[in-house]
């Protein structure tokens, strides 16, 4: 199994693992597991780092003010080094003025909220492309099938917990068109995925250059627009100005929560402009408070014209 590498980190604020929920792609995400609180309540992630795959287990000890991290695999040292950033150590709300009573209340309820950053662009990009213009149910199922068919078991105890790591870019480049269809990923999205995989090294290098350059490189690729770029920048950089324009819910929910009337994207952009360069914190606070318009209207339905396929995980 290999020895665990261990890190104990003492943040200077009451740190919560809730920030990691942004990286969970549905309840059945094979790269994300959470233990029952009676079994320690650890959060597990299967991560593909620049040094190779890793299993990461995190546990917060509030009484001691400590985060305990264990990691296994070739990428263990890299992922342990990234833990503070992943949990929000580099995020700052300085300069953000709530301005709206709902946001003031949200900030009061969540005074220690942070935006985390992984520094891993392809990890965020692959599921974001799969989630384009489809229901969450269809997107999460497609991501699960991709990971089970072409990913690998997470190292160390991750395998015992049925934890997986996403496929690497080299593998994505070799997935044939009919396999994408079996995973409910249509040709437009599969082309975007394969194209991104072909320039994965360039995309990952943009992490060192900042979210603006990453946004430019991402949106220069066919099939990647504002929504996908924002979803990636939120996770990879913890970009406080990234807003998921084009989302099925975000504009409507923010408008309903803050004005009583759902917005479209243009109205949302105008409304958020005073918060630039921290516009993304507004929908984040609305989501933290669980505020959304009543779901009484028509909903997006899963498509039925793609071939269905039930696949078993390898190994």
CA–CA distance, 119 with 240 (Å, rounded to integer): 15
Distance of CA 231 to the CA centre of its chain: 7
* Cα Dmax for the chain: 55
Is-contact 17 6, C-beta < 8 A?
A: no
CA–CA distance, 42 with 198 (Å, rounded to integer): 35
pLDDT of residue 314: 37
Q: Helix, strand or coil for residue 2?
A: coil
Q: DSSP code of 153? A: E
pLDDT of residue 125: 98
Tens of pLDDT along the chain (315 residues) come to 579 999 999 999 999 999 999 999 999 999 999 998 766 689 999 999 999 999 999 999 999 999 999 999 999 999 999 999 999 999 999 999 999 999 999 999 999 999 999 999 999 999 999 999 999 999 999 999 999 999 999 999 998 999 999 999 999 999 999 999 999 999 999 999 999 999 999 999 999 999 999 999 999 999 999 999 999 999 999 999 999 999 999 999 999 999 999 999 999 999 999 999 999 999 999 999 999 998 765 555 555 444 444 333 334
**Beta-carbon contacts of residue 270 (< 8 Å; ≥ 6 apart):** none
pTM here is: 0.92
Q: Helix, strand or coil for residue 310?
A: coil
Extract the tokens encoding 19. Answer: 């920030």
* Domains in the chain, CATH or no CATH each: 5-93 (3.30.310)
**Beta-carbon contacts of residue 123 (< 8 Å; ≥ 6 apart):** 47, 48, 166, 235, 236
Q: Helix, strand or coil for residue 238?
A: coil
CA–CA distance, 211 with 216 (Å, rounded to integer): 9
pLDDT of residue 313: 38
pLDDT of residue 37: 76
């Amino acid at each position: 199994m290999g020895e665990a590498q261990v890190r104990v980190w003492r943040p200077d604020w009451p740190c919560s693992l809730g920030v990691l929920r942004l990286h969970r792609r549905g309840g059945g995400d094979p790269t994300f597991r959470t233990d029952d609180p009676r079994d320690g309540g650890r959060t597990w992630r299967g991560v593909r780092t620049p040094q190779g795959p890793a299993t990461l287990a995190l546990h917060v000890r509030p009484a001691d003010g400590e985060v305990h991290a264990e990691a296994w695999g070739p990428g263990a040292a890299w992922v342990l080094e990234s833990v503070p950033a992943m949990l929000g150590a580099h995020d700052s709300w300085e300069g953000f003025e709530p301005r709206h009573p709902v946001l003031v209340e949200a900030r009061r309820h969540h005074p220690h909220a942070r935006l985390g950053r992984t520094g891993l662009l392809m990890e965020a990009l692959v599921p974001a492309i799969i989630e384009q213009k489809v229901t969450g149910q269809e997107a999460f199922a497609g991501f699960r099938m991709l990971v089970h068919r072409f990913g690998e078991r997470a190292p160390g105890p991750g395998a015992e917990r049925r934890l997986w790591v996403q496929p690497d870019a080299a593998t994505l480049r070799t997935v044939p068109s009919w396999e994408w269809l079996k995973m409910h990923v249509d040709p437009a999205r599969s082309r975007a995925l394969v194209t991104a995989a072909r320039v994965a090294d360039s995309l990952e290098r943009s992490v060192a250059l900042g979210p603006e350059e990453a946004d430019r490189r991402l949106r220069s690729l066919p099939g990647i627009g504002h929504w996908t770029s924002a979803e990636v920048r939120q996770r990879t950089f913890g970009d406080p100005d990234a807003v998921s324009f084009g989302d099925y819910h975000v504009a409507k929910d923010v408008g309903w929560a803050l004005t009583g009337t759902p917005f479209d994207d243009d109205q949302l952009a105008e409304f958020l402009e005073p918060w630039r360069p921290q516009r993304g914190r507004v929908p984040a606070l609305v989501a933290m408070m669980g505020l959304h318009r009543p779901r009484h209207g028509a909903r997006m339905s899963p498509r039925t014209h793609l071939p269905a396929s039930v696949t078993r995980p390898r190994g």
